[in-house]
Structure 1
Amino acid sequence: MTADSEDPNDEVQYHLAVGPDDVAETVLVPGDPERVEKIVDLWDEFELVAEHREFRTATGAHRGTPISTTSTGIGSPSAAIALEELARVGCETFVRVGSCGAIQPGMDVGDLVITTGAVRQEGTSDEYVREDYPATADDRVVAALVAAAEELGYDYHVGVTASADSFYPGQGRPGFEGFEAAGSDDLVEDLREAGVLNIEMEASSILTLAGLYGLRAGAVCTVYANRVTGEFRTEGESRAAETASLAATYLERMDERAREAGADRWHPGLGLGDASE
């Protein structure tokens, strides 16, 4: 039993400084707080509703769909805090909007990666559930992201992501003064041979927590680096944001179609409709 002063479930959340009236049910969760500005520039309207530590939150509308975005900072610990507190104020759908390193040939800088599931190579989700619990994206979020990328004409890849706790040795890069962690030499190659598409730092914790709590989650990342070719450019940053924003509109249409059909949940047989309507 915690004292009231230590209760993290107060209406206004401790880390995010948001309450139930501040956010929409669907939230885009980038890592970088500066990415929030780039996301909301794509919307019809927006208002900055909170800013505390690495967590910056804005709420608005995209093609008429209510939508919010909250930055999570770098890594799974702070991403888990954001999901926890957003869930407590009524958010139900989470789409990570990020950048990543591709580890398969044929993936170009600027391409999108839409995650179906994630390798839990981070420690945060281990503190919630046994290590063999799967980190899987909601099929409706994946379908909405694919539909959005198709409508926008962006090149994309769909598959498994690896989420690491470290940008350097945890992703097979040398640390300070060439330090190499045990197994880092083989890390990227082992993941590549397993068919993993990309490495980033937040998706698996977001997907795991959403699965545990009965929420919807997915992830779309822009490729900044290809670890096969050695190419690195911060190119196409807005593509993931634009795709995720349009996907939120598709998800709203999916939910409407399910309600109209009296179905428990959306399925492909119900179609998507035109997100521009």
Structure 2
Amino acid sequence: MSDESETSTDHTADGDGAAGGDSEDPSDEAGYHVEVGPDDVADAVLLPGDPERVDKVTALWDEYDEVAHHREYRTATGSYDGAPISVTSTGIGSPSAAIAVEELARVGVDTFVRVGSCGAIQPGMEVGDLVITTGAVRQEGTSDEYVREEYPAAADGEVVSALVAAAERLGYDYHTGVTMSADSFYAGQGRAGFEGFEAAGSDELVAELRDANVRNIEMEASAILTIASVYGLRAGAVCSVYANRITGEFRTEGESRAAETASLAVKLLARMDGVKREAGADRWHAGLSL
């Protein structure tokens, strides 16, 4: 994907010799990569990987405006059923997803919901089903740069509750459980590489994860969950099943269901926050009605 800074009059092209007031500056109020400021985004942001998926997310909203597009980071802000909401694409993998969380947190975002695709590794999980992550195996290296490897990648309970409630209300088939996040689409997920290359242990990887009751494999959730937790922010993930690693079936199906579930979850989280304020509670719980 081309860098918009090459064609936009608002940004200079990348390069060591970039000069002038428009050059990228990590100390700017707008993020160095994401290029949004505090007035550009809502408190809750959906995080798909593919920039083209932003259109499929915003198609479900009441209204929206695209507020930034730089590299893989494309951001739009609007409302869903009256609730303020934003979406920022993160590209592929945990390093770029971590940049998005960092820079969005710095402009006031406090809730992150990954909206992605995944491979299912348990029986009874169909292509097009949703997987709502409760926690993640940190088989990516980005979160290791933040905190020791024993630190759990746990989804926020309020976000998980909102995603489950949203999927139930929408009538979508879903599964909850532990996700594995890898740093490689091929070797790191037990697939053969170029010319049939197999990484050490790759032939046993999926079976070992299945035996441990891991539900699915993707590439960003554990970093997003870990970093948000370290910073005291809310995060969760909902992914549509594109591949069934047991049957070998693959179809790009269910991404609109994941996007709608995440959008409704943001609406429900806003209601949760209102209920908490009225009750004087720090955390939403089942005793507080939505």
Task: Please state which band the TM-score falls in when normalised by the shorter chain.
Answer: over 0.9
Which 4+ runs in 1 deviate beyond 3 A? none
Aligned-pair Cα RMSD in Å: 1.0
C-alpha distance in structure 2 between counterparts of 1:227 and 1:263, whole Å: 43
Matched with 1:63 is 81
In terms of mean alpha carbon deviation, does 158-167 or 8-17 score higher?
8-17
Q: Which of 208-217 and 231-240 deviates more?
A: 231-240
| 1:14-163 equivalent positions in 2, closer than 5 A | 14-163=32-181
Aligned to 1:233: 251
Counterpart residue identity of residue 67, structure 1: I
Question: Is 2:280 the partner of 1:258?
Answer: no
Residue-pair matches, total: 268
| Deviation of 1:262 (Å) | 1.1
User: Which of 198, 201, 208 is matched with 1:180 structurally?
Assistant: 198
Q: Secondary structure at the match of 2:172?
A: coil
* Structure 2: runs of 5+ lacking an equivalent: 1-22
Q: CA deviation at 1:263?
A: 1.0
* In structure 1, C-alpha distance between the alignment counterparts of 2:267 and 2:91, rounded to whole Å: 25
Name the CA distance, whole Å, in 2 between partners of 1:143 and 1:105: 24
User: How many Å separate the matches in 1 of 2:192 and 2:53?
Assistant: 27
Match of 1:167 among 185, 192, 195: 185
Partner of 1:220: 238
Q: Could you give the per-residue CA deviations for residues 22-43 of structure 1, whole angstroms, max 9, x where no partner exists?
A: 0000000000000001000000
The CA deviation at 1:6 is 8.7
Aligned residue type for 1:56:
R
Give per-residue Cα distances to partners, 1:86-140, cap 9 Å, x unaligned.
0000000000000000000100000000000000000000011100000000000
2:276–2:284 Cα contact (<8 Å) kept? yes
Deviations 1:156-203 (A, max 9, x none): 000000000000010000000000000101000000000000000000
Give the Cα–Cα distance (whole angstroms) in 2 for the partners of residues 6 and 231 of structure 1. Answer: 43
- Cα-to-partner distance string for 1:27-85 (whole Å, 9 max, x where unaligned): 00000000001000000000000000000000000000000000000000000000000
What percent of counterpart residues are identical? 79
The counterpart of 1:209, out of the listed 224, 227, 230, is 227
Q: Distance in 1 between matches of 2:231 and 2:26?
A: 17
| In 1, Cα distance between equivalents of 2:193 and 2:78 | 41
Q: With the length of structure 2 as denominator, give the TM-score of the two structures.
A: 0.91
3-state SS of the aligned residue for 2:135? Answer: strand
Give 1:271's aligned residue.
289
State the match for 2:263 in structure 1. Answer: 245
